[in-house]
Structure 1
Amino acid sequence: MTLNDWLTIAAVLLSPLIAVQVTRYLDNKKEVRERQLWIFKTLMATRASSMSPHHVEALNRIDLEFKASSKKEKDVIDAWKAYLDLMGDDKMDPSQWNVRRVDLLVELLHKMATVLDYSFDKTTIKNSSYYPRGFGAMEEEQGAIRRGVKELLDGGRALPLYVTNFPPADAPLPPLGE
């Protein structure tokens, strides 16, 4: 047998193995991209509602699905860390904190858009979300109700009671035991 025959036999034997490995590699890359896309799409869809459980879940998956090994993905991780750092800052004035939060979220989403080949500019990301005013009012009302019930249960607030329809002063009292 010649070298050419051996190479042909090796190619016939190894080609299915190589094909399987290439397919697995491509499938893995596709799965990673799909998970990254889920995070990005979820954050984009909930960017006006940062208290959404889906928003929080997507934020918590960033460091799982984006790796610091590539320059673009490292930029996402760095932007996520800056955003996360702000989330834990309770010393900043609330109005300044919210402005900074929005700016950092826009930066994070812009970095993710770049990695995932979406062409969103920061202004579009910041200004093109829809959040009905009624949602905000409903969240404020639910928060007020939760705080009020908590104060009541903690003993910090009394439940006001008003008696109406008193019986007339000259009405006979019912006999005891009825």
Structure 2
Amino acid sequence: MFENLDMSTKDIIMTAAVILGPILAVQAQKFIERTQEKKNRRMALFKTLMSTRAERLNRDHVQALNMIDIEFYGRLLPFLKTRYQTRKEQAVTHAWKSYNSHLNQKDEYESLEQWIKKGDELFTNMLYAITQSLNYDYDKVQLQRDCYRPIAHGNIENTQLAILDGLDQLVNKGRPLPMYVVNFPPQEQADNNEQDIHNN
């Protein structure tokens, strides 16, 4: 292959190979590390959503949802100044947009049960899209039903919501605080207290 080249051309090719070889190897290693890091972040997001799928008000769950746009953004093509997403990334971000839009449309449903049912369906579709992008073999029924949540957790969450709603009614909506007297003081003590008030 190099027989027709003079010595200086061979030297240039060899020198270029010696210089570029390690540079290309380092760049290849960095590419592999970035790819692995991206996969690890996506896995962490998926694990958080799976582990909190029965507790959708959980702070970690909400943070993971808000990271979907970042983790499945795709990549920016610098020369075209546009973003490239794989079909699997597009499926995830589209499913997230549908679910997010639904979360903000509670008043458009006749009942809370209908809104919750539709939300469960959209959330499951989003989880399914994430599993597909990570090359996991889950089906939608498994994602929707195979989770454990003790009844006590639901009771605690409902109680906390009721307390917060009651406080909101008192503080922000002017609801009166009902008060009931359980035990009246003896009449003699009440008369003395009334006398003290008039004297002062």
1:161 aligns with 2:180: yes
Q: Which has the larger radius of gyration?
A: 2
Residue type at the aligned position of 1:158:
L
Task: Select 1:88's aligned residue among 104, 109, 122.
Answer: 104
Residues 41-60 of structure 1 mapped to structure 2, 5 A cutoff: 41-60=47-66
Q: Provide the secondary structure at the position in 1 that maps to 2:169.
A: helix
Alpha carbons 1:152, 1:159 under 8 Å: kept = no
Q: Secondary structure at the match of 2:175?
A: coil
Q: TM-score, normalised by structure 2?
A: 0.80
Over the aligned positions, Cα root-mean-square deviation in angstroms equals 2.2
* % identity of equivalent residues: 32
SS at match of 2:192: coil
Does residue 124 (structure 1) correspond to residue 142 (structure 2)? The answer is yes
Counterpart in 2 of 1:78?
Answer: 94
Separation in 2, partners of 1:135, 1:124: 21
- TM-score by length of structure 1 reads 0.89
CA distance in 1: counterparts of 2:190 and 2:105, whole angstroms: 65
Which structure is richer in relative contact order (CA contacts within 8 A, separation 6 or more)? 1
- Superposed CA offset, 1:96-118 (max 9, x none): 11111111111111111111121
State the AA in 2 paired with 1:39: L
1:173: how far off? 2.8
Partner of 1:173: 192
Q: Distance in 1 between matches of 2:99 and 2:164?
A: 27
2:125 aligned with 1:114: no
Q: Is the counterpart of residue 137 in structure 1 residue 143 in structure 2?
A: no
Q: Tell me, which stretches of 5 or more residues in structure 2 are unaligned?
A: 1-6, 75-83
Q: What is the alpha-carbon distance in structure 2 between the residues aligned to residue 173 and residue 74 of structure 1?
A: 78
Residue in 2 aligned with 1:149? 167
Counterpart Cα distance in 2 of 1:100 and 1:2: 72
Displacement after TM superposition at 1:159 (Å):
3.3
What do the CA deviations read for 1:119-171 (whole angstroms, capped 9, x no partner)?
Answer: 11111111111111111111111111122222233431223131415214599
